[in-house]
Structure 1
């Protein structure tokens, strides 16, 4: 009996020891776990970069999609054309884009077509106009529209112009059979509140007769000789062509850029005489003096980049003598006397 009691006590002690050991381990685990959790949280707290919205779909019209960036681009294009964008809200721009897409969608449904060649020609004209107005290069234009290449820019412009052309055709088709009578116009106008009616200033139609004073041959030769002297100074004395531009050119539009213009063989810019000389030159060459409708020039071909030519030029305009001015005025006075 005593032996059984001792065995029982031994078993109880063993269980007690095991329990205490497990309890002790649990306590240690409780002390360790918070540290591990802290470490885990510390790692998790280093989150990856937050997601950022690149673009969004503002609307879908048939097969056409209007993106948020399309609205932003419309703002930029209006601003580039000198339009006061403060008079337009984002909602108005969005509405105009929706309207164009809707017209274009129905134009496709009605099998209306536009010529791809006509669209490409229009794109070339738009690019030429932009470059002439800004005096910039194709690189500047690509940066403005965030494009990597001229091809990518033209592809985007192609879709925009095609949509616009289809929309215009659809509008014309809708209104071609509509007849508006003068009475309907009068009624419509009278319904407009007086304070909202458009106001038109006085319009005048004028005609004019222009007589340009003639420049003497002596004055023309003086300008040609001066340009030849500038050319010789650059070629023989190593004087900077750009510094000569700043000192002598009469082209005030390009003087701040050192007389720099960028020409492209595929997109005619500048007058024909200027292009013909520029495209016949070698890199680093200075042309002989030549005449255009603006005066006399010399060109320095700075760099050729594929189809683009970076040129600097100096323009000198021959002076008109007082005698030539008086002669022109006398002719105009004689014409006036005969008319009156």
Structure 2
């Protein structure tokens, strides 16, 4: 149930019904079925037999094989119904907890889905006709049902996230791990060729004059905002963050520890809704932050970034510094001391979980070609969408060839998955006890 509930909403196109979330189709299709009945009651909401059938058909469109015998089909129907019950309980729990959803994100997701579906048809008429055949009404009705479904998904996800905080770890035995591995061995994909590595990334540093110029520009923008300037428009006009500039500096919702640099996060969480920060400095440059909304340990904020100019002399110094780092590392200088002195704090210190080698960026693939465990690469250039190039030096930790998985390689992942599934199942079972649930199937 957990895998299905939080799967991506945009599905592989296999006919129109295969491209829409299951519950959306379920809530529209009853109009074309000759007979329907109540399959379950959850609180004050009903789940229909057509909901179950449509959810099953949704999965079939994605490749699930229907059991050939009636007993297997009945068992599948009961499983699907119980998953729909869990989803409805989560929606009701989210509303009870007064969790909020972001309507703009919901409508944007629905519109993206509609755009994808519409692109499969040669004309508006063909699109409308297929909607009608699928029991989804006209385009406006289809959009409304999609928005409702995405809203439900957000409620489910938020309730799930809150409940997961209360989940208690469940012990899993070695025998259970081995049994789970054997059950799914046939379905496991081949282990890809992987690599793990540590890295030191050296970034060019702006001159004091360039930093002073950027700080002065940020101060002038703050003064403009304090005088009543529109923060969003100023961000679109001036911000040097390519990821948020066109969004008026919108960073979306963020929790503590979600990846923002510490000094930025500390200021953001100290602001009240509507409040604008002073100019602050991070490794990226100078920022002005405005908090728009606050809810349950989350903050929705915007920012304006003014980055100091990096010139060719700064880049040349960074390249020379990276050469020095590689030489010192090979001579035995400790990784920790080199990181503390040279590593760009905005970059990861490496990839210590096996990473598929065929998914590495081209620059990393080139640097690691022919390398073996323990090797330290020559410095290589990293593309930087924010500005000047950076330089990386890697040390290979492990280099694994493609092949079959062995239980020992994924034992920890299996243990964690089984523990998570059981602890969440316990929480959902407890919620069932607190909610009126009547299964009619």
Q: How high is the TM-score relative to the length of structure 1?
A: 0.45
Q: How high is the TM-score relative to the length of structure 2?
A: 0.37
User: Larger % of helix: which?
Assistant: 1
RCO comparison, higher one (Cα < 8 Å, 6+): 2
